[in-house]
Structure 1
Amino acid sequence: MADRPDVRTDQVTLGVLVNAVPRDAVDDAIMACGVREKRSDGKLPAHVVTYLTLGLCLFPDDDYEEVATRVTGSLDRWNCWNASWSVPTASAITQARKRLGRNVFPELFERTCGPVGGDAGPAAGAAALGTARGSFLRGWRLLAIDGFEVDVPDSKENAAEFGYAGSGENRSAFPKARVVALAECGTHAFVAAEVDAWRVGEKTLAQRLYSRLRRDELLTADRNFYSWQAWDTAQATGAALVWRAPTQLDLPVLRVLAEGTYLTALIKPTIRGRRREHLLTAARNGVDLTDINTVPEAFDERGLPVVHLARVVEYDIPDRVGSGTGELIVLLTTITDPGGDNGARADELAAAYHQRWEEETGNDQLKTHLRGPGRVLRSRLPDLAHQEIWAYLIVHHAISELTALASAAADLDPDRISFTKALRLIRRTATGTADIPPSGLD
């Protein structure tokens, strides 16, 4: 990710976007996608179109020309606009967006949208969930995975690209895109995402994300995301996992630990009969299932594992409101040791899983507050719809970064910083600066 200067909490402007999405990162993404303009004297070079598209997401109620009028002053101040140019027309912006294509914004997201909650460090110990610098469990940064849908205009091009939810009388009014993202729990910042048609399921999109996990991260996930393939792919990265187990998943008890959790074996579903029983027996006897020479049956013909050791944490929430009262929650984790430097207690793991709901907050911030409740995207062409979705993800990340910096400066939990107030301040001051202390976002 490109280096960038800190966003000062006393300067809340469109410069938030330019700081979070610096010009050099924009130029690099444009160059990587091969869409740099051929003429140097054009009024809408690719980098300007990129910032204008981000501006369209910051002001979803305004038309193209109004947004261009709002943001060109700030772009000029940030050396991204030539003051001699006139404000472009809606038609000119549309044509320029078409030239830009669909690939620049996901490339730009990859270059600029990473964790913003600081580092784990000495302060992020066993009880460091929800600190001012992000949510951590010991040395792991907490992430969550979840999906949401986006309504796109009902054009024949979008219908062919994205499809509708349901069919017949139950068909959705608009075509829908599906988004699945990884988010940093402490700050709600999206750090990786996949966008595709509605007919592409959440598990399919999630499978594309697991390989991006890092060893210092802990991914939480709801039970709908579990499959052998998903767990196998995510665990192979070295990241820690805390996922809720599906109701019908067979979890044989290998050994009960002193704190009441127990170890189990997750075996590839195609492994059955005697081979499965042999693996369970070996696991109960404490044999190292990761050693292909000791237990060759634990690997397939390509040398890939067909069984993983996991720890099971079971608990309920007595004072839970609603239909979930008294429901048994079953968690699976790769953290098999309750103690030690690489371990975690059952209560810590339950608290970490609870942080998964922070991504729900991030989804709501993007869909309800940034985009607007029930709002359909502007773009009637698939390439532009893809642009717009990724632009919303980038703008949301920029605001999340600002609030994370403000919370750190004020020694507050990021949840104490109002996303809605930060968004309003940015919109109000999009053509100037405002002196706003961190408490102004509280």
Structure 2
Amino acid sequence: MFGLTMAMIGGCGVVCPRPAARPCRDQLSLGVLASYVPRDVVDEAVEQAGKAARRSDVELTPGFVVYFVMALALFADDDYEEVALRMAGVLADWGEGFDPSSGGLSRARKRLGPRPLELVFSQVARPVAEEDTVGAFFGRWRVVSIDGLTFDAEASMENIAVFGQPGTAAGEASVTQVRGVTISECASHAPLLAALGPAGSGKGSGERTLARPLLGQLDSDWILLADRGFYGFADWCAADDSGAALLWRVGADLRLPVLRPFDDGSYLSVVIDPKARGRARETLLATAAEGLPLDRARARHVRVVEYDIPDRDGSGSGSQELFALITNVLGPADGQATALAALYAWRWEHETGNQQLKTYLRGPGKILRSRLPELVYQEVWGYLLTHYALAALICRAATAAGIDPDRVRYKRTLRIVRRRVADPSFSP
């Protein structure tokens, strides 16, 4: 493993993804946070959300509070006042007064709400891997994946009313939970799209429900990897209609008739709307088998790649698990079956990114600070923004060094950024 050295950070040649409208010192004094989340983007998001500064905000402007929420994610072990003191030099650069109390910071967070941070994320979260970044592309496609994660939040009455309270064998849990679904770049682990909601078992709280609005936002030069929990016919169609390439694992209960075998061991098949039954289904199958155009609202051609993984659970019993992948890459010329099977394993990069966010950035076993649902959402958006900035920094430094981003240690990068976040000499 390689560590990220100060020389790598300072000399990697990385530039801001969007030129800042403010003086450069604003970026430097906020270190990596403002380098990947520029102040002009923050100002625009605050304005768009209708949260522009009021007279009473002279010391704690909405723009500062956005960065403060990101800093809360960066310094998860510190209280409000300690985090604010770490940023005191930032306000000095901006020429604003600074003597906040915990109560004042809490009120400022409530005034801001979650929407500005959500808008900032939608503006800055862009792919950061370049053409020469190791492990970033499969053929002409940028490799991305979708997965879910949960955050524990305080079981206040307000949070329970919105998020519910999971049960345990001993009764009700002492925390409530918020769920996130992200689409992330596999090479960098940078989240590109995200949706948040309750993590309970009620209607509208599942991963597929949260994922649904993201699937239409895929770029046509992406290939999206997804586990079997995300497949549904309507969801597959929404993702397919985006123009992106797809490689999804599906469950054993999905019927995949063999329409035409390919020399690489894969075969052409069709997925059909489960509402089409009986004669309607048979007609769609016959149309697909004859190679005729399908009613795309009811059926889609797919290519199937099947393979076994022996002893996946490590039991040594010799048992095998069958993987069935479907893809809209319909010809072997654009991806051999063995290559697609190996590509699917890249989905685990998403698990690594989730671990970086939840275990290293937030800290193992920690719960979110916020007692109100709108502040819980605000806090999670802050974590996603801060994780994006760190992932982008690592990826661009690794690309400049010609190494895989996985070889740059996240924890060491995090320590460096924490030390230098308010250092005017820090240059990303």
Q: TM-score w.r.t. structure 1 length?
A: 0.86
Deviation at 1:75, TM superposition (A): 4.8
Residues 1:279 and 2:284 are matched in the alignment: yes
Name 1:148's counterpart in structure 2. Answer: 149
Query: 2:286 aligns to what SS in structure 1?
Result: helix
1:54 to 70, 76, 80: 70
Cα deviation per residue 1:248-294 (whole Å; 9 max; x = unaligned)? 111111111111110111000011112211221222122222xxxxx
Aligned residue in 2 for 1:328: 322
Given that 1:30 and 1:36 are in contact with CA atoms closer than 8 Å, whether structure 2 keeps it comes out as yes
Which of 378, 389, 392 does residue 387 from structure 1 map onto? 378
Specify the code of the residue in structure 1 equivalent to 2:166: A
CA distances 1:14-63 after superposition (whole Å, capped 9, x unpaired): 41001111010000000110010122871111101111111111111111
Which consecutive segments of 4 or more residues in structure 1 shift more than 6 A?
434-437
Match for residue 34 of structure 2 among 1, 15, 18: 18
**1:259-408 pair list within 5 angstroms:** 259-289=264-294, 298=295, 305-318=297-310, 320=312, 322=314, 326-339=320-333, 343-408=334-399
Q: Aligned residue for 2:83?
A: 67
Shift of 1:387: 0.6
Structure 2 counterpart SS, 1:317: strand
CA distance in 2, matches of 1:335, 1:41: 53
In the alignment, structure 1 residue 428 sits paired with structure 2 residue 419: yes
Name 2:8's counterpart in structure 1: none
Which position in structure 2 is the counterpart of 1:94? 106
Equivalenced residue count is 402
**Is 2:127 the partner of 1:115?**
yes
Counterpart-to-counterpart distance in 1, 2:311 and 2:239: 33
Residue 295 of structure 1: aligned partner: none
Find the aligned partners of 1:189 and 1:357 in 2 and give their Cα distance.
14
Query: In the alignment, is residue 253 of structure 1 matched against residue 230 of structure 2?
Result: no
Q: Contact 2:130–2:399 at 8 Å: present in 1 too?
A: no
Distance (whole Å) between structure 1 residues aligned to residue 104 and residue 163 of structure 2? 26
Matches within 5 A, 1:412-427: 412-427=403-418
Displacement of 1:245: 1.2
Q: Which stretch of structure 1 is more off in the superposition, 270-279 or 94-103?
A: 270-279
Matched to 2:32, the amino acid is V
Equivalent position SS for 1:316: strand
**Is contact 1:151-1:375 (8 Å) kept?**
yes
| Residue 230 (structure 1) aligned with residue 231 (structure 2) | no
Can you list the C-alpha shifts for 1:312-335, whole angstroms capped at 9, x where unaligned?
001123475625953121110000
Q: 2:408 is matched by which residue type in structure 1?
A: I
AA aligned to 1:349 is: L
Query: What is the aligned partner in structure 2 of residue 3 from structure 1?
Result: 18
> Identity of counterpart residues, as a percentage?
44
Paired AA for residue 244 in structure 1: R
- Indicate the SS of the match to 2:87: helix
Tell me which residue corresponds to 2:95.
Answer: 82
Query: Structure 1 residues 41, 428: closer, same or farther in 2, change over 3 A?
Result: closer
Measured in 2, the distance between the counterparts of 1:282 and 1:58 equals 56
**What is the CA–CA distance in structure 2 between the aligned matches of 1:413 and 1:46, rounded to whole Å?**
37
Give the 3-state SS of the residue equivalent to 2:95 in structure 1: coil
Deviations 1:190-243 (CA, angstroms, capped at 9, x unpaired) = 001111111301110011210111111111001111111111111111111100
1:309: Cα distance to partner? 0.2
Q: Does 1:35 align with 2:51?
A: yes
CA distance in 1, matches of 2:169, 2:224: 38
| CA distance in structure 1 between the partners assigned to 2:178 and 2:311 by the alignment | 37
Give the alignment's TM-score, normalised by structure 2.
0.89
2:188 touches 2:405 (CA, 8 Å); kept in 1? yes
* C-alpha deviation, 1:115, in angstroms: 0.8
Structure 2 residue runs without a partner (length 5+): 1-15, 21-26
Distance 1:392 1:172 in 2: 23
Report the CA distance shift for 1:41/1:273 in structure 2 as closer, same or farther (over 3 A): closer
Instruction: Name the CA distance, whole Å, in 1 between partners of 2:43 and 2:17.
Output: 12
1:185/1:355 contact within 8 Å kept: yes
Return the offset for 1:76: 3.7
In 2, are the aligned partners of 1:159 and 1:175 still within 8 Å (CA)?
yes
Equivalent in the alignment of 2:197? 196
1:387-415 deviations in Å (ceiling 9; x for gaps): 10000000000000100111011111111
Distance in 1 between residues matched to 2:137 and 2:363, nearest whole Å: 31
Letter in 2 for 1:424: R
User: In the TM superposition, what whole-angstrom CA distance separates every residue of 1:325-357 from its partner, at most 9, and x where no partner exists?
Assistant: 531211100001011xxx211122112211100
Letter in 2 for 1:38: R
Structure 1 residues 337 and 41, CA gap change in structure 2 (3 angstroms): closer
Which secondary structure state, in structure 2, belongs to the residue aligned with residue 175 of structure 1?
strand
Given candidates 57, 60, 68, the residue that maps to 1:44 is 60
Q: Distance in 1 between matches of 2:165 and 2:242?
A: 34
SS at match of 1:272: coil
Contact 1:12 1:426 (8 Å CA) reproduced: no
AA at the equivalent of 1:142: V
Match of 2:220 among 200, 215, 240: 215
1:138 aligns to what? Answer: 139
Q: Which amino acid is the alignment partner of residue 335 of structure 2?
A: A
Cα offsets for 1:355-382 (capped at 9, x unmatched): 1000000100010000000101111111
The CA distance in 2 between the partners of 1:41 and 1:59, in whole Å, is 24
For residue 433 of structure 1, report the CA deviation from its aligned partner: 5.8
Q: Cα offset for 1:172?
A: 2.5
Deviations 1:401-430 (CA, angstroms, capped at 9, x unpaired):
100111011111111111111001011222
